[in-house]
Structure 1
Amino acid sequence: MRPSLHRRITAPIAMAAIAGLALAGCSGGPGATTADSGAEGDGVVTVYGTIADTEAELLEESWAGWEKDNKIDIQYEQSKEFESQISIRAQGGNAPDIAIFPQPGLMKDLASRNFLKPAPDAVAANVDKNWSADWKAYGTVDDTLYGAPLMASIKGFVWYSPAKFTEWGVEVPTTWDELLAVTKTIQEKTGAAPWCAGFGSGDATGWPGTDWVEDLVLREAGAETYDKWIANEIPFTDPAIKGAFDSLGEILLNPDYVNATYGDVKSINSTPFGDVATPVANGTCALTHQASFFDGFITDAGGTVGPDADVWAFITPSVKAGGQAVTGGGEIVGAFSDDADTQKVLEYLSSADWANSRVGLGGVISANKGLDASKATSPILQEAITILQDPKTTFRFDGSDLMPGAVGSGTFWKGMVSWINGTPTDEVLTSIEAGWPSN
């Protein structure tokens, strides 16, 4: 889901805004931004979020029929400065009725200071019916539901050529060790580096590496350790986190395995993350690691995506076969008003009806259990929905998006760049951990 790229880049702004509000205090007081409790609506509900351009047009199209039927005008405002402005607007008494939060931490910060209204009973019922406990938790503060999940994305896909796998006599791996064995076989048969990788992303360079590490922490150490890690209950210097870096290093720090068509290991940092779609699409790169949105880059590069097409993908395997743990992102919707019309809109956005409407328009997915996967417009998005809806799937939100910005989009991103450049792992982990706020 391409909007997630924008959200990653703006993460430092979001956390800076939170920190600034914490220091400044609330001139209007918590709750000053909200409408009168239980008031009748005026037929207009304002929605504010990061979803922009074509995706914003599709968002508005997704609820157009419902608006007409319910005589409610949903007015959407897009902003590239959402993460910094939503907190400022809440404090200043100018909050929208509803906000679409790209980061659970930002939503929880506002909820914990009583700017957001608890979700209505009808919304809570929809969440219990349509979403897993993992997703519900991202909208919950102190056992109270404030936000409902909306859209989603899955990270951790490994993209490959089915035809080339057949030619090389290798199969899709089901364990991490099998993935390493497949990598070795391809390298031996082709004499070339199997993997291509790009960490380049302007000021956000390094974030694709954090996705890799998060995948491996979850798959190797498990969900409980992952949760403790993102809360800094265990540090980056913990053996479990170092183990994930060591495993990743078996691929990304091995000059025999990277960086296909681009150069040596260090070229990973200078290669824009989207550019690797071209060698994957034309078959000169055998493997790359990227999220579900990457299918758009593949098609833009002239390739086709599907089980029998030019390129397909499998989820990065766990240590043991059969494990289905994935990382990803998504949005949470919360309200600053609890008037009748706002509550109706929230109920609709948390429903399977809205999920099917939006996904059917293309380009996005949702983890809503009532979503018909066939509504998705590409095979990989259909596959991603199936994974998200599987009750056996363990889902965890992108770790760097949940950490304070000084770490998640600060020392963590920079640490990945330093690591690729050859800085010893222990030194990198110490420098990343140093970014955590002291309080």
Structure 2
Amino acid sequence: MKRRSLSLVAVAAASGLFIAGCSSSDDPEASTSAEGTATSDGGGATMAAGCEDYGDYGTFDSAAVELYGTISGVEAEQLTESLVPFEECTGVVVTYNGSDEFETEINIRVEGGNAPDLAIIPQPGLLQRVVGTGAVVPAPDAVSANVDEFWSPDWKNYGTVGTTFYASPLMASVKGWVWYSPTEFAENGYEVPTTWDELMDLTATMADNGGPGPNYKPWCIGFESGTATGWSGTDWIEDLVLRQAGPDAYDAWVAGDLDFTSPEITKAFESFGDIALNADYVNGGLGDSASIVDTAFQEAGLEILNGSCSLHHQASFYEAQWPEGTTVAEDGDIWAFLTPNVNADDPAAVTGGGEFVAAFNDKPETVALQTYLSSDTWANERVSIGGVISANKGLDPANASSPIGQASIEILQGEDTTFRFDASDLMPAVVGASSFWTGMNDYVSGTPLNTVLTDIENSWP
């Protein structure tokens, strides 16, 4: 197993007292478990200053929880940093273990009787498979109550398998941003489009006007992502299906009740093809349409800074790809607008991704951490550290580390926003993480659309 391990040991016990004076475990009425000691709600433990928001989680002596997931690098360090207040105030020692082989290893660990206490699962489809092992326990009432209060019903549904709610949402991303240069727009009198037709008109105008960079084309697109090459192309189709056909058609498509060969999905592919297969529109500074497959998704948008293209479609997390010193702001070097709706007055429609926290036992310390991770307290703590956003409605958008993060949070929290989870993450893996990806690669490489759509549809189990 290849695994990165980050451990925070922020609390130590000495004579029954936790450091930082956050709690005391010498309450004679404390309830005990095999894994630790937790003070009862009516116990005599006194929370120290700064721990007021953590009183409901209890206090523990010698309790430890393993949190397992795919998060690595700086983001893993930031995650563990966000758990420090919980550790200091409750006495629970949290160890985070991250693995880039999570999808395989979680099954191995479950089958070997070595399941973690909690797992951060990156997509609903994988959650369903893990729940299918029988090892995941239903979410406790406190977690369910938090999700009812702080998330929309759609988000709770993504953490539900059958009729049982298992996993609370954690972090999120907003897809469908179109990145551009505010300076270029101002110099050329370009306006941010409010409909898909306006976006296509803008694209045609940009192609006619040309640009300052070498081999200029309006759009730059990249699909390359190792064994996952093609996934960024599926984001285009998902955005278009939701905006053109509506949420009901989108849901039917995800469920397999609306074929890839249907008129609705065909139209979405054709609309994408109007850009991706047009030699006048792509691939700025990079080549022709076929170059899309060989261009890393992380690098494609950087051509905007070179003046070789003007527009790049990618999620909110693409902000991290801009070089150091790039100002991402409405009046900065780079900014973004959402892929427009068909009609300007339609409610905001966005696709996105997210993560879910599932438990493999109901120990008090496991329940305490799972409840904390579903709270507005944790959401504000984590987002304030930087680099991520959440759809938690108790999150203050001002805590986001960047303007694009703030804008994404406001969209996710919008009462009228139509949100749908990334379709390929919801579909069976043989489709969403295989034939759909390769179909996108084939399409921009010249394979006829009917063949592409038939091949994907025939792969549905």
With normalisation by structure 1, the TM-score equals 0.88
Partners of 1:326 and 1:390 lie apart in 2 by: 11
Identity %: 55
Partners of 2:108 and 2:253 lie apart in 1 by: 30
Q: Paired residue for 1:407? A: 431
Contact 1:193 1:259 in 2 (8 A): yes
Q: How many residues align structurally?
A: 399
Q: Paired residue for 1:172? A: 192
Cα offsets for 1:285-344 (capped at 9, x unmatched): 1101011111111234x5321000011000101111133111111100010110111111
How far 1:207 sits from its partner (Å)? 1.2
Cα offsets for 1:193-227 (capped at 9, x unmatched): 21111111122211111110111111111111111
Partners of 2:416 and 2:111 lie apart in 1 by: 41
Partners of 1:268 and 1:77 lie apart in 2 by: 35
How far 1:113 sits from its partner (Å)? 4.6
1:307 paired with 2:327, answer no
Give 1:250-399 correspondences, 5 Å limit.
250-300=274-324, 302-322=325-345, 323-399=347-423
1:240 to 245, 260, 264: 264
Structure 1 unaligned blocks of 5 or more: 1-37
Q: Which amino acid aligns with 2:312?
A: T
How far 1:125 sits from its partner (Å)? 0.7
How far 1:92 sits from its partner (Å)? 2.3
How far 1:284 sits from its partner (Å)? 2.7
Q: Which structure shows the bigger proportion of residues in helix conformation? A: 1
1:104 paired with 2:128, answer no
Contact 2:217 2:308 in 1 (8 A): no
How far 1:391 sits from its partner (Å)? 1.4
Partners of 2:100 and 2:407 lie apart in 1 by: 30
Point out the more displaced range, 268-277 or 342-351: 268-277
Contact 1:193 1:257 in 2 (8 A): yes
1:159 paired with 2:182, answer no
SS at match of 1:149: strand
1:46 paired with 2:73, answer no
Give 1:18-33 correspondences, 5 Å limit.
none
Q: Paired residue for 1:135? A: 155
Q: Paired residue for 2:255? A: 231
Q: Which has the higher contact order (CA 8 A, sep 6+)?
A: 1
Partners of 1:41 and 1:143 lie apart in 2 by: 31
Partners of 1:316 and 1:384 lie apart in 2 by: 13
Q: Paired residue for 2:456? A: 432
Q: Paired residue for 1:72? A: 92
With normalisation by structure 2, the TM-score equals 0.84
Give 1:108-127 correspondences, 5 Å limit.
108-127=128-147
Contact 1:410 1:435 in 2 (8 A): no
Contact 1:62 1:361 in 2 (8 A): yes
Contact 2:430 2:460 in 1 (8 A): yes
Cα 1:337–1:271 change in 2 (3 A) is: same
Partners of 1:274 and 1:132 lie apart in 2 by: 31
Which runs of 4 or more aligned residues in structure 1 lie more than 3 Å from their structure 2 counterparts after TM superposition? 38-41
Cα offsets for 1:77-118 (capped at 9, x unmatched): 111111111122222221111110001112123334532111
Cα offsets for 1:219-243 (capped at 9, x unmatched): 1111111111112111111111000
1:87 paired with 2:119, answer no
Q: Which amino acid aligns with 2:458?
A: A
CA RMSD of the aligned region, Å? 1.4
1:190 to 198, 206, 210: 210
Cα offsets for 1:31-83 (capped at 9, x unmatched): xxxxxxx9564211111101112111111110111111101111111111111
Cα offsets for 1:371-394 (capped at 9, x unmatched): 111111111111111111111111
Partners of 1:40 and 1:162 lie apart in 2 by: 59
SS at match of 2:385: coil
Contact 1:281 1:303 in 2 (8 A): no
Q: Paired residue for 1:147? A: 167
Partners of 1:203 and 1:63 lie apart in 2 by: 33
Contact 1:40 1:341 in 2 (8 A): no
